[in-house]
Structure 1
């Protein structure tokens, strides 16, 4: 039986990471869990986010994955070390890859970060960026109104554009040359964000860099799936399965060469 890469998020945002992993590693099986019943994680306190993340990991471990990717910036900020300490398989987050992408991209050394309340409050991105480049300037902004647009599937609407414009207004006069989308939901809103920010600002999602890190780790540990394996992907959610299924198929339709299976997860809440 093919061992999967397990990817988890507070909702559908982690599908942006799934899409890039599937593009770079099409032979790999993905098991995805979106905690759509309890999204968003951003406004919640750190201990609650840790509890939820550990519950999801406990659920995913029954499938014996070879790696876990915490594709949620808020959960990465508060729970990554805990999960790594208790598991003997590789566990990745999305903040360090996003920070590395920004360091490679910025020319001015002035970087913007948008994220949930929890991610921005944790200061995780600024710490990660300054660990690599101590002189970098970081302008951070919490944008709590954006995740609900994605979870409701209205990320291409006029309402989404206006909400993005209002949410990002405090950053628009900052001299940033790249903007980290510090929530995995935000790439769903890329088109709207592009319409609002200067064309000179490069938008950065951690998905690309995270997928490269997944590939590198699996390669060096001899854990890559064989090229002749055809993966059957599994997708789980804790909330409304119909909305989750619709968003998943819409976002991943080009990548889904295997079978898409969506279950309403037995509640452990």
Structure 2
């Protein structure tokens, strides 16, 4: 079985890493839309269009399932992609919510993400259906921190505290990392707030795939495509998943709509 994964940039590599570990025999095709990153500050209509283009490209490889490894795209484009694709389409929001509901003991959950993800209320709507109190916070500086490799140390910790002290003061016991870049800051967050149960969407997706009992066997093919040169992408790819070569594609190969 082959899996397609797309994200606007490097964040989805955390999802790739977990699936690579858990399903070594599956064929995995990853698309990082580095020419148009980030999606988090774009309109709903634009995010949906980019998501359809990414999905259509990955479908040319005969994928059996599609993972939207981007919280913004999951929030805006999931239902549209499920309408037009004839394969299972999995976003990061539903698995993250399921995990948070298992973790929380006091029913107070924090959600952090891009401006677009928080504005969409995608996590909030699902969590509140279960009677959970939700406290949200956009953290727009986290993505550039990760892109620049500043994931620990004084600068990272100061910015983390600037965003998260307010949520912790509200009494949350569980924090959803609502952006696939954010797991790279997880150790620093845990150091500052050791009592928090942290939901990493990349791990939540692999748990979800296990429960779905998909037949994830294949030849172990690994392909990673990007739409523009990116030093930070290559650096984090090497750090997270090793020496799988990058293949650059022209943006015109995606822009079919």
TM-score exceeds 0.5 = yes
In the other structure, the counterpart of 2:248 is 264
Structure 1 residues not aligned, in runs of 5+: 254-258
Partner of 2:203: 208
Q: CA RMSD in A?
A: 1.7
**2: distance between equivalents of 1:172 and 1:19?**
29
Distance 2:162 2:95 in 1: 28
- CA drift at 1:216: 3.6
Deviates more, 1:117-126 or 1:161-170: 161-170
Instruction: State the 1:241 CA deviation.
Output: 4.0
Whether 2:181 is the aligned partner of 1:185: answer: yes
Aligned residues: 253
CA contact (8 A) 1:241 1:264 kept: no
Give the one of 216, 225, 232 matched to 2:217: 225
| SS of match in other structure, 1:164 | helix
**Counterpart check, 1:31 vs 2:36:** no
Q: Does 1:66 align with 2:50?
A: no
State the Cα distance separating 1:153 from its structure 2 match: 2.8
Cα deviation, residue 53, structure 1: 0.8
Tell me, yes or no, if the aligned pair for 2:157 and 2:188 is still in contact at 8 Å.
yes
- Deviations, residues 228-260 of structure 1 (Å, cap 9, x unaligned): x4x13111112224432221110123xxxxx71
1:108-257 to 2 correspondence within 5 Å?
A: 108-131=106-129, 133=130, 135-197=131-193, 199-219=194-214, 223-225=215-217, 229=219, 231-253=220-242
Q: Distance in 1 between matches of 2:171 and 2:46?
A: 36
Q: 1: distance between equivalents of 2:133 and 2:109?
A: 6
Ranges in structure 2 where 5+ consecutive residues have no aligned partner: none
- What is the alpha-carbon distance in structure 2 between the residues aligned to residue 207 and residue 22 of structure 1? 11
CA contact 1:111–1:178 (8 Å) conserved in 2: yes
Q: Take 1:173 and 1:65, find their aligned partners in 2: how far apart are those partners?
A: 44
TM-fit CA distance, 1:157: 4.8
User: Counterpart of 1:87?
Assistant: 85
Indicate conservation of the 8 Å contact 1:71/1:93, yes or no: yes
- Quote the Cα distance in structure 1 between the aligned partners of 2:226 and 2:158: 29
Question: What's the secondary structure of 2:169's corresponding residue?
Answer: coil
Question: Please, which of 96, 99, 111 is the counterpart of residue 98 of structure 1?
Answer: 96
Calculate the TM-score normalised by the size of structure 1: 0.88
